[in-house]
Amino acid sequence: MTIEAPTILALRKDPRLLKIPPYLSALCIVIGIVWLFLLPLNEYSRHTYISENALLPGQVHTYFGGSEQNVFNAYKHEVQSLLGKDPEVIAAQLSNILRSVGLKAATQKYHYEAAGNVHSGENAYAVLHAPRGDATEAIVLVAAWTNMDGEPNQSGVALALTLARYFKRWSLWSKDIIVLITSDSKAGPQAWVDAYHDEHSPDSADPLQLKSGALQGVVVVDNALDHRFESLHIVYDGINGQLPNLDLFNSAVAIASGQMGIGVSLQRMWKHGDSYRERLQTMLRGMVSQGLGHASGPHSSFIPYHVDAITLQAVGHGWQDEMAMGRCVESTFRSLNNLLEHFHQSFFFYLLMQANRFVSIGTYLPSAMLVAVNFTIMAIALWIQSGRPPKRRAGSATVDMKESEVEVVRKEGMVALVPTADLAIVERQLFLPVALVVAFHFLGAVPLYVFNNTQQEALAQTLVFFAYANIVLPTLLAIIISGFTTLSSHRLILLQCFSLLLLGMFLATLATLNFSLAFLIGLLAAPLSFVGIAMSADNGDAPPELGTLRKIVSNVLLHLLSPPVVVLAVCKIFGADTGATLAEAAFGWKVSGLRTQVVVCCVWWPAWLIGAVIVSPGL
C-alpha cells in the first residue's frame, strides 16, 4: 500500500493537483472576457479630460469666415477642374496655387508595388515659415486627394488651400505649418513622412526638398461631401494599433462639440446614445481596428514616428458648412500652437467608448494578460506532469504488488517502505520537443512570404488552398515525424508545454503593445490549451491514447479555428473581398510596416499546427 502523508510535500505528488490547472485556465479566460464586458460601465470607465494645460482648447476666437468663403469657392473650382488628371499635373497646379499664396512649395514623387498593385503618385506640399519662429518645430495640415473610400476629397483640399492662405497672415505661430496634399490616403502620406525623417527607400520615394523642424502634430481634413454636413467623424487609429495622444483627440472633441457645437462621432458609430450597448460596440469596433493594425486614414502613417495625428471627416446631412470645419481646424491649430512640449501628458494607450469616455491601459490590460496567462498555467502544469513517473493503470494497481517493487528507505533513524516507481527519476527528453517548436515557428515564415508576395488575383485562391492544406498538414507532419522517432506521450506533453509557454509569453508581451491583437489571438487560440493529453493520473507509457470522442471533438474544434478558416469566415461575415483584404495586408507589410501578419503566421499558426499535430489521427 502506498503511504500518503497529508503534508504539503506529499501534496506535491498528489495526482489530484494536476486536475486543477485546466479549470484554472478556463476560469482565467472567462474572467478575461467578462472583464472586457465590464469596462463600458460607469464605475470602470472615466470621463476624458485635458491633461496638458497649455492646450486650452476652444478658448480662442476664430475669425475664419467672411470673404474666405469666396476664396474657398474659387479654390474648389480649381480642384474640380483638376479631377481625373494625372498626379503630376495635379501636383504641379496645387503647388502653383500654394506659391501664389506666398508659400514655398515643392512636390514629391513616390512609387510602391505590393501584391501586384502599383501605388504611385505625387504629393504637393508647402511650408509656411512661422514669421517669428525659429524653425525648430512644425505642425502639418494634410488633405488627401482621394479619401479612404476612394472618393475625391474636393472640399477637403480646397479647405486646406484656403486655410494655408489664411494662416499666412497671422504672425502668432510658434511652429511652422506644413500644408500637404497627397495623391492618395495610404501610400502618399507614408512616402512623405518616411522622406521627412529620411527613412525612405530611394527607389520608392523621392527625398524632400523642403523641410522644417520636428513634427509636433498632424490634422487631416477629409470632406468628400458636396452638401452641408452634420457631424465630424474623428479617426485616430494608427499602424499596428498605435494610438495618438489622447489629448489631441480630446482637444478636437472639446473644440468641435464645445466651442463650435458640431457633434462628434468615432468608430463609424453615427448614432451614439451613450447606452451600455453602444459603448460596448464602440469599444469592440475600436479593438478590431486596433487588432488589425491597418491604416485607417492618412493620419495612421504619422503615428509610428511618434507624431500624434487625427483625421477629421465630415459626415451626415446637416447645416454645418465648410467654414465651420475651417474654424474647427483653425481652433485646433491654435491649440497645437500653444504646445510648449511634445505631447506627453495624457495617455497613449486607451480604449474609447464614446467621445468623452475612455479606459486607460491600467484598467483594461488585465483582461488580455489573463487570457495570455492561461497558456502559461497550462504550460507549467504540463511541465510538472512530464516530470511525474507514469502511474500504473487503475485496474492493476493494488493486487499485483510484489516485493521487488517496494524499496526500503532509511533516513535519520526512520524507516519507510516506498514503491520503486515513486523514486524513479524521470528524464525529460527535451531535444525533440524544443527542436520541433523552433522548427514550426520558423516554418511560419513560409506562409508569411507567400501571402506578402502573391499577386492580388491569386491571393483568394492561395488562401483557400492554404486552408485545405491545413487540414492534411498536421496528419502528414505527424506521420513524417513518427517515421523518424517515436512520439511518446512524454514527448507530446513536452511539445505542447513548450508551445503553450512560448504562446503565453509572446501574447503577454504583445498585450502591452497591441492589446486588441493579443486579446483576439488569445481567444482564438484558447482551445490549444485544452486539446492534447488529458490532465489525469490515468496515463500509461504505452502509446498515447486519448479518448476517441475527445480526439474527434478536439480535431473538429481545432480545424474550425485554424487561421486561414478564421480569415475566410471573418471576410465572409463582414462582406469583404478576401483578395482585397489580403492585398491590403501585403500593402501594409511592404509600405506601412504592418506586423500583424508576423503574429498570425509566425506565432499563432505554428502554435495551432503543433496543437493539431498532437491530436492528429496520424499518431
Partner 1 sequence: MRRFYLLFLSLLLAVAATADPQYEEHLHLEPLPQGLLLASFNFKSNATLQSFEQQHFKYIPRSLGQILQHARTKELHLRFSSGRWDAESWGARPWDGKKEGGTGVEVWAWIEADTGEEASLRWITLNHALSGLFCASLNFIDSTRTTRPVHTYEPVGDHSNTSLSNLHLLHGTLPREVVCTENLTPFLKLLPCKGKAGISSLLNGHKLFDASWQSMSIDVRPVCPESRSGCIVEMEQTVDMVLDIERSKRPHDNPIPRPAPADQLICDTSKSYSSSEACFPIDMSSMQSWSLSDVFGRPIKGSCLANDIRGDRSESVCISVPYEHQVFSSQGSVERKDPSSNHRCYVLPENDAFEMALPQQESQAVLPRPSPPLYASRSFTGHGQERGGVQSLLTNPSPNAAVSFTYFETLPWFMKPYLHTLKAQIAASPSQSQEEIIKSIYYRPALDRQRGTQLELQISVPPASTVRLTYDFEKAILRYTEYPPDANRGFDVAPAVIRLHPDPANPSSKAVYLRTTSLLLSLPTPDFSMPYNVIILTSTVIALAFGSIYNLLVRRFVGADEVESFSLAKVKARIKGRFAVIKDRFSMKKEKKTQ
- CB of 166 or CB of 236, closer to partner 1: 166
Stretch that binds partner 1, among 95-103, 445-453, 496-504, 611-619 (CB under 8 A): 95-103
Q: What are phi and psi of 144, to 5 degrees?
A: -85, 150
Query: Is residue 228 part of the contact set for partner 1 (CB under 8 A)?
Result: no
Query: Is residue 131 part of the contact set for partner 1 (CB under 8 A)?
Result: yes
Query: Is residue 227 part of the contact set for partner 1 (CB under 8 A)?
Result: no
Q: Which of residues 398-437 bind partner 1 (CB under 8 A)?
A: none
- Tell me what percent of the chain is helix, strand and coil, each rounded to the nearest 5: 50, 15, 30
Query: Is residue 213 part of the contact set for partner 1 (CB under 8 A)?
Result: yes
Q: Which of residues 53-72 bind partner 1 (CB under 8 A)?
A: 63-68, 70-71
Query: Is residue 101 part of the contact set for partner 1 (CB under 8 A)?
Result: yes
Contact 475, 572 (CB under 8 A): no
Among residues 120, 152, 305, 348, the one that binds partner 1 under rule CB under 8 A: 305
Q: What's the min distance (Å) between Cβ of 289 and partner 1?
A: 24
Query: Is residue 137 part of the contact set for partner 1 (CB under 8 A)?
Result: yes
Query: Is residue 75 part of the contact set for partner 1 (CB under 8 A)?
Result: yes
Among residues 33, 74, 384, 406, the one that binds partner 1 under rule CB under 8 A: 74
Helices assigned H by DSSP within 82-123: 87-101
Q: Which of residues 159-198 bind partner 1 (CB under 8 A)?
A: 165-166, 169-171, 197-198
Q: What's the min distance (Å) between Cβ of 295 and partner 1?
A: 18
- CB of 173 or CB of 515, closer to partner 1: 173
- CB of 102 or CB of 543, closer to partner 1: 102
Contact 519, 371 (CB under 8 A): yes
Residue type for position 608: W
Q: What's the min distance (Å) between Cβ of 349 and partner 1?
A: 15
Query: Is residue 100 part of the contact set for partner 1 (CB under 8 A)?
Result: yes
- CB of 19 or CB of 306, closer to partner 1: 306
- CA–CA gap between residue 185 and residue 310 (Å, rounded): 13
Q: What's the min distance (Å) between Cβ of 585 and partner 1?
A: 24
- CB of 330 or CB of 584, closer to partner 1: 330
With CA atoms as reference, report the closest residue to 175 among 210, 132, 209: 132
Contact 596, 517 (CB under 8 A): yes
Residue length, the chain? 619
The three-point CA angle 332-338-340 to 5° equals: 135
- CB of 307 or CB of 601, closer to partner 1: 307
Stretch that binds partner 1, among 128-136, 355-363, 387-395, 439-447 (CB under 8 A): 128-136
Among residues 2, 42, 59, 73, the one that binds partner 1 under rule CB under 8 A: 73
Contact 276, 217 (CB under 8 A): no
Q: Packing angle between helix 515-524 and helix 361-387, nearest 10 degrees? A: 40
Among residues 59, 96, 102, 486, the one that binds partner 1 under rule CB under 8 A: 102
Q: What's the min distance (Å) between Cβ of 455 and partner 1?
A: 33
- CB of 313 or CB of 331, closer to partner 1: 331
Q: What's the min distance (Å) between Cβ of 308 and partner 1?
A: 13
Return the bridge partners of 442, or none. none
- CB of 174 or CB of 475, closer to partner 1: 174
Query: Is residue 12 part of the contact set for partner 1 (CB under 8 A)?
Result: no
Q: What's the min distance (Å) between Cβ of 231 and partner 1?
A: 26
Q: What's the min distance (Å) between Cβ of 135 and partner 1?
A: 4
Query: Is residue 201 part of the contact set for partner 1 (CB under 8 A)?
Result: no
108 sits in which H/E element: strand 104-114
- CA–CA gap between residue 103 and residue 583 (Å, rounded): 38
Binding mask 320-349 for partner 1 (x = CB under 8 A): --------------------xxx-x-----
Helices assigned H by DSSP within 184-275: 187-196, 246-253
Query: Is residue 129 part of the contact set for partner 1 (CB under 8 A)?
Result: yes
C-alpha cell at 109: 514623387
Q: What's the min distance (Å) between Cβ of 203 and partner 1?
A: 14
With CA atoms as reference, report the closest residue to 302 among 180, 210, 208: 180
- CA–CA gap between residue 489 and residue 285 (Å, rounded): 42
- CB of 305 or CB of 383, closer to partner 1: 305
- CB of 138 or CB of 365, closer to partner 1: 138
Q: Any idea what DSSP says for residue 235?
A: E
- CB of 13 or CB of 99, closer to partner 1: 99
Q: What's the min distance (Å) between Cβ of 546 and partner 1?
A: 50
Query: Is residue 78 part of the contact set for partner 1 (CB under 8 A)?
Result: yes
C-alpha cell at 265: 462621432
Give Cβ neighbours of residue 366 (< 8 Å, ≥ 6 apart).
32, 35
Among residues 14, 37, 77, 480, the one that binds partner 1 under rule CB under 8 A: 77
Give Cβ neighbours of residue 211 (< 8 Å, ≥ 6 apart).
127, 196
- CB of 299 or CB of 357, closer to partner 1: 299
CA 284 to chain centre: 13
Q: What is the side-by-side order of every strand in the sheet holding 104-114?
A: 104-114, 117-128, 176-182, 137-144, 214-222, 308-320, 229-235, 263-266
Task: Burial-class residue 145 by CB neighbours within 10 Å (0-12, 13-18, 19+).
Answer: buried
Among residues 19, 46, 104, 550, the one that binds partner 1 under rule CB under 8 A: 104
- CA–CA gap between residue 613 and residue 619 (Å, rounded): 8
- CA–CA gap between residue 225 and residue 604 (Å, rounded): 42
578 sits in which H/E element: helix 578-587
**Concatenated DSSP letters for 484-550?**
HS---HHHHHHHHHHHHHHHHHHHHHHHHH-HHHHHHHHHHTGGGGTSSS-SSS---SSSP---HHH
- CA–CA gap between residue 195 and residue 209 (Å, rounded): 10
- CB of 71 or CB of 384, closer to partner 1: 71
- CA–CA gap between residue 457 and residue 397 (Å, rounded): 63
- CB of 199 or CB of 541, closer to partner 1: 199
Query: Is residue 135 part of the contact set for partner 1 (CB under 8 A)?
Result: yes
Q: Note the residues at the interface with partner 1 (CB under 8 A).
A: 63-68, 70-71, 73-78, 100-102, 104, 129, 131-137, 165-166, 169-171, 197-199, 211, 213-214, 305-306, 340-342, 344
